[in-house]
A and B are shown apart, each in its own frame.
Chain A
Amino acid sequence: MRLKIERRKNDPTKLSIFLMSVLSVLISLAILGLIILSLGKNPINAYVQLTSWPFGTVAGLTQTLISMMPLLFTSLGVLIAFKMKLWNIGAEGQFYMGAFAATWGALFLFKGISSPWLMLPLLAAFAAGFGGAWGAAAGWMKAKLGVNEILSTLMLNYIAIYWVNYLVYGPWKGKGSYNFPITATFPKAAILPQYTSDGLNLGIFLAIATSFFVFYLLKRTKFGFHMDIVGDNPIAAKYSGINVKKMTIAVLAISGAISGLGGMMQMSGVLFRLQPNFSPGYGYTAIIVAWLARLNPFVAIAVAFLFGGLLVGTQQIQLFLQIPFSLVSVFEGLVLFSLISGEALLRYKISFKGVRT
């Protein structure tokens, strides 16, 4: 058999990338429909359930915004690292560390503080610090020891998740929790302003504000300019007098800090108490969001909104059609797979010719 792979002559245009992304999502939705059909359910019904509640009702939209918030934070974190071709897949762990730090601060360290004006910034800084340290650790290992960041960030995810599990099953188990692995509830001062009775809180606005910050950092600072250089050609960056190791550590630290901040917002804004598996994999979904957004922090807002709605919608179909929630992961996998294939097809021409003997 003959398989020919050839590079296309031109780089893909913005329009073709956009169409490819949309197509990827549509194809994934279609395959999802087939899977639902094979489970013996009506896919049309499922699509309706999937979209009508999260995007068509006020209560649903509120839920969409709430689940979009941690997603946007982690996507922005991932996006910064990806910009410099650092494949940080550790947003989940950094998110966990942020949530851990926020809980530690709220329930133990800063217990005595009663002013939210002092408490909340303190928790945010603390969480960003821990998430940042988690990112910086991977950066340090890459810069000083040459450890691939994909491996180190993945490992660090497990450490963070098990660490949180250990705490909530053990020393941090709350008094009033009837032996459930849940910490005590945050004090009032550690809770973000709430706007509706069903949970809309300040977090989502801070997430959007963070998008602007990321845009500023990437496009309007020396740091962002140097990130472009290092990302494109690290040797040329060294040649230009840029400290590539320092940049690697700094970028992963900022990346982790933003995800960690998301962890704090999720605790102080939505959950108010730490429990195991409190994230349905925001840090992993973030990778797909960042990629679909083409690493643009503003487009990420829209994509995070859609995926937030998707998470809410899947809860709906789980409830009404008894379809397992893990379909979200299937869907995400499909999107990622179609995106990568689409990417390859945009850049390469692949042709098969009949089997020859």
Chain B
Amino acid sequence: MSENVLELSNIVKRFPGILANDHVNLTLKKGEVHALLGENGAGKSTLMNIIYGIYKADEGEIYVNGQRANITSPHKAIEYGIGMIQQHFSLVPSFSVAENVALGLKEFHLFPRIDVIKKRLRELSKKFGLDVKPESRIWQLSAGEQQRVEILKLLYMNSQIMILDEPTAILTPQEAEGLFKTIKEMVKYGASVIFISHKLKEVLEISDRITVMRHGKVVDTLLREEADEKILARKMVGRDVVLRVEKSPPKTGDLKLSVKNLYSRSDKGPFAINGLSLEVRKGEILGIAGVAGNGQRELAESIYGLRDYTGEIEIDGTMLKPLDVHSRINHGVAYVPQDRKGVALCGNLPLYYNLFLKIFTSKQGDFNPYLFNPISLKKPAEALVKEYDVATSSLDLSVKYLSGGNMQKIVLARELTLNPELIIAVHPTRGLDVGAMESVYKILIKARENGAAVLLIAGDLEEIFTLSDRVAVLYEGRIVGYSEPDEEHLEEIGLMMAGIKKERVG
């Protein structure tokens, strides 16, 4: 009993119209990494938010180190030694790392002792291999670095129970390896970790035990030795999942997108795209492989018209102006951005609004602009929610309350029902469960078979190999080479991603 640092007993949490946690039991042993798996909307984040005091359970008890705990707020949770990194970060962009740590402290000091904090942060980053400078401003950091700040925050507060909600979703494979090393280090010092992920491989690599949730209930808890990918996938979605989708040979047509000599700056100022050129034809999927931070975001945003650039971007042979999203939409361009919550959704607006943000700027619908009642969107919204299998209690729910994966489904549903001719997809399956991932793959392939051009920017090479017809490698804002989507070329691609140039293949 005393070996369990955390024990959840019969936790029930209801939201209007949905039972998010249904009598959940879970134990966390000292020094263990416990993975939590489950479909989008299964109730994982909700359960973690209860442990961290963000939500209050309707029923059930929480025991910390064998003692009944009454966790009413994150401050209380921190007092119990519980820390959490949420699915969407909560750092203040204009503050430095050290200031952000000061903000998260148990009590609010008018004049926090920043030097003391900085010193301790430096010690901690050294000890756990977390490379960030306490002086850096958050907005200057990559997603991976921001996550390290969040981890440092937990370490600084001496958390013994660490909850990581989909930490690897935003990381490159290399960064993920780094995170795993840190986790192992933390466990060595006596911490216990709950780890949420949709990537079965990772789960099998890092965890000691695995709990699978479905529809708010715990399906099973297994030891790592008892599990493999197939078993886990079946327990999660209740059927076998095939991520190797069938793909017919490409029927490439006319040139759809042509980018020539593109230059574009990142938010921080320097050029992130340095004279890049590429072409995508109708009916093909061009995968862009590359280490995160080599201009992926800037490339996608320039093409879509959200970021200023110099150079030429032509769609269907028509030269487009920078920063003109509307003309892109008119040319049938759909965009699934990396930061769905910040760029592609209105968090406080109801779900059914969010499915139709482009209703008047695209050919999605034909409504009278002078006599338009948004209620009339509900019916088509209902059909989309069904088609894309979005787990929600109601169409009126503010989209910010949806689970991470279901938010992504809203974006995909909106973009893909526009029957796009060019799809720019950046990490389209990030945060999706294996079942949903499979359906996104099918949708993208179907769009390609219907003649759409797809520019797929993803961190996961496996995903790129599964979907692409050609692979281009992005390095320091340029395409440094092309390859065939084949495991055989893995090493060659890896070299190009690291900046070692190769002759063009195929």
Contact = CB atoms under 8 A, between A and B. Distances in A.
Interface of A: 2-6, 9, 219-223, 225-226, 228-229, 232-233, 235-243, 349
Instruction: Say which size band chain B's interface belongs to.
Output: 35 or more
B108 A235 contact: no
Identify which of A4, A5, A241 gathers the most chain B CB atoms within 10 Å of its CB.
A241
B4 interface: no
B343 interface: yes
B372 A220 contact: yes
Contact of B367 (A9, A219, A222, A223): A222
Interface in B63-113: 73-75, 107-108
Contact of A4 (B108, B329, B370): B108
A232 B359 CA distance: 17
A346 to B, nearest CB: 16
A228 B359 CA distance: 13
A238 B306 contact: yes
B337 interface: yes
A221 B376 CA distance: 12
A4 B369 CA distance: 48
A264 to B, nearest CB: 25
A323 B54 CA distance: 50
B107 A2 contact: yes
Interface string B457-501: 000000000000000000000000000000000000000000000
B345 interface: yes
Given A3-B107, A222-B372, A225-B359, 19 more contacts: A3-B108, A4-B107, A6-B73, A6-B75, A220-B372, A221-B371, A223-B369, A225-B372, A226-B360, A228-B349, A229-B349, A229-B357, A233-B345, A238-B306, A239-B337, A240-B358, A241-B325, A241-B326, A241-B328
Contacts of A221: 369-372
A167 to B, nearest CB: 39
B361 interface: yes
Contacts of B371: 220-221
B335 interface: yes
Interface string B353-365: 1000111111000
B348 interface: yes
Contacts of A2: 107-108
B353 A241 contact: no
A240 B328 CA distance: 10
Given A240-B358, A240-B361, A222 B348 contact: no
Nearest to A11: B398
Contacts of B337: 239
Interface in B132-160: none
Contacts of B73: 6, 349
Nearest to B340: A236
A3 B106 CA distance: 10
A223 B361 CA distance: 12
B108 A236 contact: no
A241 B358 contact: yes
15 contacts: A2-B107, A2-B108, A6-B73, A6-B74, A220-B372, A220-B373, A221-B371, A222-B360, A226-B360, A228-B346, A232-B349, A233-B347, A238-B306, A239-B337, A240-B361
A239 B337 CA distance: 10
B23 interface: no
